[in-house]
Amino acid sequence: MPDATGLELIAQELRDAEGAGVVTDTLFFRDRATVTVQAMRIRAVLAHLRAQGYAFLASVHGVDYYPHEPRLGVHYELLDMSRVDRITVKVRVPSDAPEVESVTPDAADGPGWPTANHQEREVFDMFGVVFRGHPDLRRILMPEDYEGHPQRRDFPIGGEPVIFTYNEREAYPSGRTSGASTREGAGA
């Protein structure tokens, strides 16, 4: 992991390369480095870090920071295999305009990260973050016509009541569901 000063150097290099406002925050916590950047500049930031050696995108995952705004976050875990270095890049977007540039496709500004394909679809499915430029943004884990984004913090956890014999009648009013006992007509 880059240490705290290394992290500041990386942040400074990013600001020099991409503009002063691109890095909104840096955090060095438990020996791990995190850089928070603007959502629509993520491609450029990752390309810059790729040039610095962080060529492996290990994970793209979403976080819901409810009730803090901006509410939705997307984390990109980068790994430098030659120096065994990890860095996390974070973006935060509000839930009323949850748009992030997609890092999946190869575009005019450079090669993309094909590994982010399914992972960005999962973040879209679970949190509702829309990735602009993703080749095939649709639900991946939930049924395609599902409404709602389940892993948001205000989405109810759901569940079914467990059926015992005392509430079996209310749960299945049409009759007993057990196959053999309805067929053979066996005793209670």
Give the footprint of another protein on this chain (CB under 8 A).
29-30, 32, 34, 55-59, 61-64, 75, 77, 81, 84, 86, 88, 111, 113-119, 122, 126, 138-145, 150-151, 153, 155-160, 162-163, 165, 168-169, 172, 177-184, 186-188
Q: Which is nearer to another protein, 108 or 143 (CB)?
A: 143
DSSP 19-38: -TTSEEEEEEETTEEEEEE-
- For the bound state, the minimum distance from the C-beta of residue 111 to another protein, rounded and expressed in Å, comes to 8
- For the bound state, the minimum distance from the C-beta of residue 124 to another protein, rounded and expressed in Å, comes to 13
Burial 38-68 (b: 16+ CB within 10 A, else e): bbebbbbbbbbbbebebeebeebbbbbeeee
- For the bound state, the minimum distance from the C-beta of residue 33 to another protein, rounded and expressed in Å, comes to 11
Q: Which is nearer to another protein, 17 or 86 (CB)?
A: 86
Q: Which is nearer to another protein, 20 or 68 (CB)?
A: 68
Q: What are phi and psi of 57, to 5 degrees?
A: -95, 105
| DSSP β-bridge partners for residue 119 | none
Q: Which is nearer to another protein, 21 or 169 (CB)?
A: 169
User: What whole-number distance in Å separates Cα of residue 55 and Cα of residue 112?
Assistant: 11
- For the bound state, the minimum distance from the C-beta of residue 54 to another protein, rounded and expressed in Å, comes to 12
- Alpha helices by DSSP H, listed for 61-148, are 116-127
Q: Which is nearer to another protein, 20 or 170 (CB)?
A: 170
Instruction: Kindly tell me the burial class for residue 184, based on how many C-beta atoms sit within 10 Å of its own C-beta (0-12, 13-18, 19 or more).
Output: exposed
Coil, helix or strand at residue 92: strand
- For the bound state, the minimum distance from the C-beta of residue 153 to another protein, rounded and expressed in Å, comes to 8
